[in-house]
A and B are shown apart, each in its own frame.
Chain A
Amino acid sequence: MSDRPSPDDGISAAELAAKYGLSVSGARPGLAEYVRQMWGRRHFILAFSQAKLTAQYSQAKLGQLWQVATPLLNALVYFLIFGLILDADRGMSREVYIPFLVTGVFVFTFTQSSVMAGVRAISGNLGLVRALHFPRASLPISFALQQLQQLLFSMIVMFAVAIGFGSYPSLSWLLILPALALQFCFNTGLALVFARMGAKTPDLAQLMPFVMRTWMYASGVMFSIPVMLADHPKWISDVLQWNPAAIYMDLMRFALIDGYGRENLPPHVWAVAGGWAVLVALGGFVYFWKAEERYGRG
């Protein structure tokens, strides 16, 4: 076929491509174009996250009931160890400590599972990445969204515990919404960062549980940081309190629990929460996009 003479003979492949307006296959689109493509795939992102969520418990006899039962059991375990055996509730009454603990566990789990899902978002879905075309950031974002929906189920338990220990719904509960939105942005950014790193080094999936556990114990999930570190230099507790996980947990507790007031929050807490969210979300997105054309090499 290719021996037939044609006016295009003798010019290079690149010139021929330019002449007929062909583009390089698999090239990375510009940032604006990338965002536009992501927007075009919003239905896929949402459907994929919901599908993953449903598929999770579809083989269990109790089915979707586990969405609520799993966080409830989780909270019970922590209550048993830290509330009853270790008495970690220093400086707090039981009415404050139990919701304090449950809120902390759920809010931290949200960040933790977003990171873990992010690590495996590309490396665990190579089949999908190698078979179909879509902006790869869809995957980590979709996984973060799945975790958000999971947290919404946990919120049912959280509300029940709060009410059970005497914190009734009030206007301050509305603060949950902005706190959740900011944390979701932060988590998504983190998932994007770890998705790129996990795509290059799948070993991270083995390492991250230890990093995340260290972070959990350092963020005051089951104890109050200022009270626990009272006899240490002040800067240690300051640093721990300003870390994003602690900030988002404290905001949620402040919104939800009556006995957990302003005095427990570090100064400028909303500005810090917003700063972390914007910084990590934008940074993570750009960082992920920079390697867009390289995902799928395994």
Chain B
Amino acid sequence: MAETRIPTVIADELHIVYRVNGAKTGKGSATAALSRILKRGSDDAARGVRKVHAVKGVSFIAYRGEAIGLIGSNGSGKSTLLRAIAGLLPAEKGKVYTDGQPSLLGVNAALMNDLTGERNVILGGLAMGMSREQIKARYQEIVDFSGINEKGDFITLPMRTYSSGMAARLRFSIAAAKDHDVLMIDEALATGDRKFQKRSEARIRELRKEAGTVFLVSHNNKSIRDTCDRVLWLERGELRMDGPTEEVLKEYEKFTGK
């Protein structure tokens, strides 16, 4: 780490709120929907729109060269926080400042099951903002890394014919093909068979070296210990602890009763 630490991500009292339409308990009926429209002017609660306060006032500063783990039980707001840092979810209150464009490791949503693996590699690359030349240069690397063609020429078949493991491997390979300034990984380590997991862990270490700052969401304390030097512990949308990996994990394990 450098003498003066350079911040790459600053979260300042960040609040994220989801709004869910028509989720008012037991009232999914047409009359409820109608009253929702008629009461347009009044507040959200009266219209049957439920608010889910997913992240409540989280502040932290991440510096260049850090690998930060995010832990917490299911639904504690980890993935939401990552998306907010990436600027993909609008903040209700507070702000996130970032150096360059943070990217989330994942292209699942851009891929189409009815297209061949080959076309998905190109589409996924373009969706991540790579140029056609960059994709062409990396294409063979991506296919080889995924290991899709180890058992025959599968890359020219539609993705819907792949087994779930094969599809997950191809998705990870496409996502990991790009270099990032601030990289965020959401439990991507647990895909594929043992051999592929080894390969993807190595690739993540490589990406970490190239990226300025890495965020990793995982429920696997071992992979957090292996890769991160600082941990943020979220619980019910609040930042419960922020510190060196060992300290936080010890408290977390006490909390979860391990």
Binding site for B on A (CB under 8 A): 1-2, 6-8, 13-14, 16-17, 20-27, 40-41, 43-44, 47-48, 51-52, 54-55, 58-59, 125, 127-134, 202, 293-294, 296-298
Contacts and interface: CB of A to CB of B under 8 A. Distances in A.
6 contacts: A1-B243, A13-B97, A26-B90, A44-B127, A130-B88, A133-B88
B108 A131 contact: yes
A132 B107 contact: yes
B61 A127 contact: no
Contacts of A294: 90
A16 B4 CA distance: 13
A24 B123 contact: no
Interface stretch (B70-78, B128-136, B194-202): B128-136
A21 B4 CA distance: 15
B109 A44 contact: no
A17 B21 CA distance: 36
Interface string B88-131: 11110001111101111011111011110001001100111101
Going nearest first, the 7 A-B pairs with the smallest beta carbon separation are: A26-B87, A13-B12, A17-B97, A127-B109, A25-B87, A55-B114, A22-B97
B5 interface: yes
Given A16-B61, A41-B129, A51-B115, A22 B98 contact: yes
Contacts of B8: 22
Given A133-B88, A133-B129, A297-B18, A23 B106 contact: no
Contacts of A24: 95-97
B28 interface: no
A130 B89 CA distance: 7
Contacts of B129: 40-41, 44, 133-134
Given A22-B10, A51-B112, A133-B101, 13 more contacts: A2-B243, A7-B4, A13-B95, A17-B97, A20-B7, A22-B8, A23-B97, A24-B96, A43-B131, A51-B115, A52-B112, A127-B109, A296-B90
A1 B243 CA distance: 6
B85 interface: yes
Contacts of B122: 47
Nearest to B89: A296
Given A6-B4, A24-B95, A296-B90, A131 B126 contact: no
A54 B10 contact: no
Given A14-B12, A58-B158, A131 B104 contact: yes
A13 B90 CA distance: 18
B165 interface: no
